[in-house]
Amino acid sequence: MSEIQSYLRSLERSRDSMRPENRPATFWLRGRQWALLDTVFAPLHAGTTEVVLDLLGLSGPVQQPRRGAFLEIGCGTGVVAVTAALAGYSRVVASDVNADAVKNAALNARRHKVTDRVHAVHSDLFEALPTGQRFDTIIWSSPYVRAPEDYRFGTLLERAYVDPGYQAHRRYVDEAPHWLNDGGRALLHFSSRGDIDGLHRIAEETGRHLQVISRHTIVDRGDTVEHMLVDIRARGESATAHTEEPLQHGLSPQPA
Ligand SMILES: C[S@@+](CC[C@H](N)C(=O)[O-])C[C@H]1O[C@@H](n2cnc3c(N)ncnc32)[C@H](O)[C@@H]1O
């Protein structure tokens, strides 16, 4: 395991983000001001929320308004879900296992006047969603660092950083495609901090096919981290027009 994949380091980042000096009541991101509640993942330190906006093409002026229904699993402060609503999605569900994140997303939906189309839901992955609901885009910016199977969370915020034994990843990869409308996309934001081979094993075992549809490399506190948007579909289903390449085991070569 490389140093950037260390779950102990990720837990340290989680503790660091809890320091009062790192938790302003509001923060600016991509030209908008956002509320931040205690125990909720703070986008201002990690840079990953902006990466997700970029990977989804939700940064800057939207060329073509988005259509349809958008589900964000693990919404945190709700930056991605609210930005999706502002970009044109007509129905947005922002859900999180952390009840404070659900409140935080609702606050930010109110702040940006999209309460008519953003619904914040307290849910462990898909568990509390009405069974008949279907979506055109589903995204989870996951806690992609793998912790040991028997690790017990010390705080709610740690759930934003690590996934013990990839138990939540297994459920997401298995269940997400079931919640799609025809032609929809189930997406996972993953990175080289995660266990890519482990994710592949989960896909094999659950009958899923993984495909990277975009990548973005950033330097995060001295670590070079490759971020990727992974499309998850049932094996044998045809790939979308957005398809780029199969998810590689290990990392893609870094530019010299
Ligand atoms: C890396 S954070 C991303 C937060 C937010 N989407 C952002 O980009 O700023 C991961 C989020 O997933 C949530 N999460 C972790 N396990 C979950 C689960 N089983 N069900 C729903 N949300 C979960 C965490 O609480 C956290 O808010």
CA of 99 to the centre of ligand 1 (A): 11
Q: How many CB atoms lie within 10 A of CB 156?
A: 18
User: The domain containing residue 148 runs over which residues?
Assistant: 3-237
How far is CA 68 from each of CA 4, 61, 90, 164, 253, rounded to the nearest angstrom? 37, 18, 6, 33, 36
Inside any domain, residue 50: yes
Tell me, yes or no, whether 79 lies in a domain: yes
Q: Which of 48, 53, 159, 190 to mutate to test the pocket of ligand 1 (most atoms within 8 A of CB)?
A: 159
- Quote the distance between the C-alpha of residue 185 and its chain's center: 14
248 within a domain of the structure (yes/no): no
Q: What is the pLDDT of residue 64?
A: 77
Confirm whether 154 is domain-assigned.
yes
Domain for residue 250, yes or no?
Answer: no
What are 135's strand-pairing partners? 180
Q: Is residue 253 part of a domain?
A: no
Q: What is the CATH number of the domain that holds 69?
A: 3.40.50.150
214 is a domain residue? yes
- Residue 48: predicted pLDDT: 94
Locate 243 and state its tokens.
């398809």
From first to last of its 256 residues, the chain has per-residue pLDDT tens of 788 899 999 999 999 999 999 999 999 999 999 999 999 999 987 789 999 999 999 987 766 788 899 999 999 999 999 999 999 999 999 999 999 999 999 999 999 999 999 999 999 999 999 999 999 999 999 999 999 999 999 999 999 999 999 999 999 999 999 999 999 999 999 999 999 999 999 999 999 999 999 999 999 888 899 999 999 999 887 655 444 455 554 434 333 2
Cβ–ligand 1 contact at 127 (below 6 Å): no
32 in a domain, yes or no? yes
| Ligand 1 in reach of 85 Cβ (< 6 A) | no
Domain total in the chain: 1
